[in-house]
Amino acid sequence: MIACVVVSRQALHGAEASLNQLLEVLSDFSPAVEWTEAPSVAVSYLDLGSLPEPFAGAQAIGQAVREAHLTPAIGLAGGKFPAHVAAVSAEPNEALIIAPGYEARFLAPFPVDLLPLDEDTAHRLNLLGLRTLGQLAGLPAGAVLNQLGASGRLLHQLARGRDNRPVVGRCPEAVEVATRQFEGPVAERAILEAVFQNMAAELADRLRADGLAARTVWLTLHLDDRTACRQRLVLRHPTGTPERLARVSTELLAQARLRSGVVELEVGLADLVPALGQQLDLFAHGLEQGSRLREALKDLVARYGPECFYRISLSNPEAHLPERRFQLERIDWL
């Protein structure tokens, strides 16, 4: 029996920490948990084996997910595809269970758009007048193979409710998260920046203890009007220093549009990699200003792309026209 759990991406606040929390909850029910991303939902699959009481199993999964403050829609069936269709057609906080042998009958009225179609195959099905899964399932397998090629075999089997694809377990991504809650809404950015300093020091201590550095920093601001503001930055070079983490958090805050006061902060680090040691120059104190400029330029390049930055070099000092004495060069030394 395969269970499909669908949760709104908005409910996950767009943060890896919330997604990992969901996967940890689901891993209590199966060693094999697979998740995929969609524009508006997070879809998770669990291999429950031969579940003796599907209804009780769905209830237990739903209760555990709700205790994590999430609203799941759950589908149970004999394969990933029928379980997914059942989940997306169920209402939030509901479970839809497809009895063994009834998968094709259940899928028949649904549109073929639910299949994993590429653009060409979708266009081909439209030209053939195949609108529902039942219409596709009713065709002979040989005819589908002739019209759609090798990929048609899988699509025909899925339309008939036959999905033998295994659930591929994925390990949750390692992340570090720090949160702060306020007794009342905070709108002063100076106060928020001061809190970032403390959170950055806490996160840096965790990274240092594990010998790690972070390449991705995200910021989630939970506002007093019950909305959330999210920002993310992928760094060109991983970092684990409190100064850099605080600076990046402050930059993300500057990009946020706060419609009301902040009641909770969340700063998270992802894409954790082993930290690399760096040999320090004994005479680096004389180059401190240039080093700070280089670090700031690295952040700008990581955010906006290298194609936006050039440096001027002297190419022909003897040229009569000033514009011919210099040329622009890509910054490739970062």
Q: What are the tens digits of pLDDT across the range 85-111?
A: 999 999 989 999 999 999 999 999 999
Beta-bridged to residue 231, according to DSSP, are 219
Residue 132 phi, psi dihedral angles, 5° rounding: -120, 160
Element (H, E) at 324: helix 322-325
CA distance 122 to 140: 19
- Identify the pLDDT of residue 280: 44
Q: Cα 230 from chain centroid?
A: 13
Contact criterion met (CB below 8 Å) for 98 and 86? yes
> Among residues of the chain, what percentage have pLDDT more than 90?
39
CA distance 147 to 156: 11
**One-letter amino acid for residue 284 of the chain:** A
User: Which segments within the chain are labelled E, that is strand?
Assistant: 2-8, 33-37, 41-47, 73-77, 95-97, 176-186, 212-223, 228-239, 262-274, 310-314, 326-330
Lowest-confidence segment of 3-17, 31-45, 236-250 by average pLDDT: 3-17
Q: What are the tens digits of pLDDT across the range 285-300?
A: 445 556 666 777 777 7
Average pLDDT over residues 247-271: 89
* Nearest of 115, 110, 146, 154 to residue 128 by alpha carbon: 146
- Identify the pLDDT of residue 150: 82
Residue 15 pLDDT level (bands cut at 50, 70, 90): very low
Cβ count near 100 (within 10 Å):
10
- Identify the pLDDT of residue 283: 46
- Identify the pLDDT of residue 102: 94
Residue 14 pLDDT level (bands cut at 50, 70, 90): very low
pLDDT at 138 exceeding the cut of 80 = yes
Average pLDDT over residues 303-322: 79
Cβ burial 117-155 (10 Å sphere, 16+ → b, else e): beeebeebbeebebebbbebbebeeeebeeebeeebebb
Q: What single-letter DSSP state applies at residue 65?
A: H
CA distance 161 to 133: 9
CA distance 214 to 239: 5
Domains in the chain, please, with CATH? 2-159 (3.30.70.270), 176-278 (3.30.1490.100)
> Among residues of the chain, what percentage have pLDDT more than 70?
86
CA distance 161 to 107: 7
- State the Cα torsion 27-33-37-42 to the nearest 10°: -40
CA distance 170 to 282: 46
* Nearest of 167, 172, 175, 173 to residue 30 by alpha carbon: 167
